[in-house]
Amino acid sequence: MSETRRRWLAIVNSACDGMRNREFRETWLRRLRYGATKVVICEGAGEAPHIIADASDFDGIAVVGGDGTVFDVLPALDPSRHCLTVFPAGRGNSLARAMGFSSMPLALAGLRYGVEQPMDLLLLRAKHADGSTRQAVCASTIAMGYVAAVVARAQGGSGLHSYTLAAAMTKPERREIQVSYDGGAPRTRSLTGLVISNIDYAAQYRAFPDARLNDGLLHAVELDAPQWRQLGYNLAMLAGIGFKKSRHKGKSVQVRSATPFPLMADGEIWNGITEFSVDCVAGAILCNRSADL
């Protein structure tokens, strides 16, 4: 257990999946008010950074929402002062699962009994077809192809079933891309998708079982399966089988395509991308995880 007693500011996304649930609002939100120092309901996109900027008295930030909420919060965190923890109140909750907080009781216990450690982040740089560029810091998953299409289809749904249903309804489509790992020579590949992560979970799927929060590496898997085989892989991961090891590990990856494609960054969809790069930033921020990991 960390010897530091932090002042936790809990930022609750009012539009997160949990807030649609009466039990969450009446039971877990009330208990959170006892566990955290202060609880603030975030009413709109982009509001979280302003809340953090105005809350100089807090050195712990508890995100209550999904990976998209974490995505909004990350740019506002001060690595020299803030510690991040996540409550599983979204649809997929990849980062919360990776921290060992697959349920609200576990996350609440983590405020008192959690272990603090450095956590890697992913620096994403992307270029649009019109020549404009975009940059973001991600905490869990970046994907193109099949996984990006699944996330886009699941948006607006509720609960994990939205991802499961979207995965079953989405047909993988092949695309030729150039991929380079760690500055190596680009290889042209015909793939149905590419998934890059710095944690073990992608929603409820433990897609990268050998990934750790602070291993200093990004993990990538190239998808090339037709629909029936991809569904088999999905079921295997749900059963806890998954991949024996990640297909690629390293510090960076660069991707280029002749035609624009949607890119998924921690649950957010960026359209019209033609190329992007991802770099692992080792130990970028302090996080609070379960002591049982």
- Which tens digit of pLDDT belongs to each residue from 10-42? 999 998 889 988 999 999 999 999 999 999 999
Mean pLDDT of 52-76: 93
Contact between residue 278 and residue 196 where contact means Cβ atoms under 8 Å apart: yes
Query: Is residue 49 predicted with pLDDT exceeding 90?
Result: no
Q: What is the CATH number of domain 8-119?
A: 3.40.50.10330
| Cα diameter, the chain | 55
**Higher per-residue pLDDT: 228 or 193:** 193
- Which tens digit of pLDDT belongs to each residue from 142-186? 999 999 999 898 876 656 567 778 888 899 999 999 999 999 999
Domain 8-119 shares a fold with domain 121-283:
no
Q: What percentage of the chain exceeds 90 in pLDDT?
A: 71
- Which tens digit of pLDDT belongs to each residue from 111-151? 999 999 999 999 999 999 999 999 999 999 999 999 999 98
Which class is domain 121-283?
Answer: mainly beta
Sort strands 248-250 and 218-223 into parallel, antiparallel or unpaired.
antiparallel
Contact between residue 13 and residue 25 where contact means Cβ atoms under 8 Å apart: no
Q: Whole-model pTM?
A: 0.92
- Which tens digit of pLDDT belongs to each residue from 247-270? 899 999 999 999 999 999 998 999
Mean pLDDT of 224-232: 84
Closest by Cα among 243, 187, 238 to 220: 243
Q: Which of 34-48, 69-83, 180-194, 240-254 has the lowest mean pLDDT?
A: 240-254
Query: Is residue 240 predicted with pLDDT exceeding 70?
Result: no
Domain boundaries, the chain: 8-119, 121-283
Residue 4 exposure: Cα atoms within 13 Å on the Cβ side: 15
Mean pLDDT of 52-81: 93
Report the pLDDT value the prediction gives residue 2, as an integer from 0 to 100.
47
Rounded distance, CA 252 to CA 200, Å? 17
Report the pLDDT value the prediction gives residue 87, as an integer from 0 to 100.
97
Rounded distance, CA 95 to CA 212, Å? 11
- Look over the chain and give the mean of its residue pLDDT values, rounded to a whole number: 90
Rounded distance, CA 161 to CA 267, Å? 16
Coil/strand/helix, residue 265: strand
Report the pLDDT value the prediction gives residue 244, as an integer from 0 to 100.
52
SS3 assignment for 239-261: CCCCCCCCCEEECEEEEEEEEEE
Q: Give the list of residues 6+ apart from residue 78 with CB closer than 8 angstroms, or none.
A: none
C-alpha dist (Å) from residue 175 to 16, 123, 172, 256, 257:
33, 24, 10, 11, 8
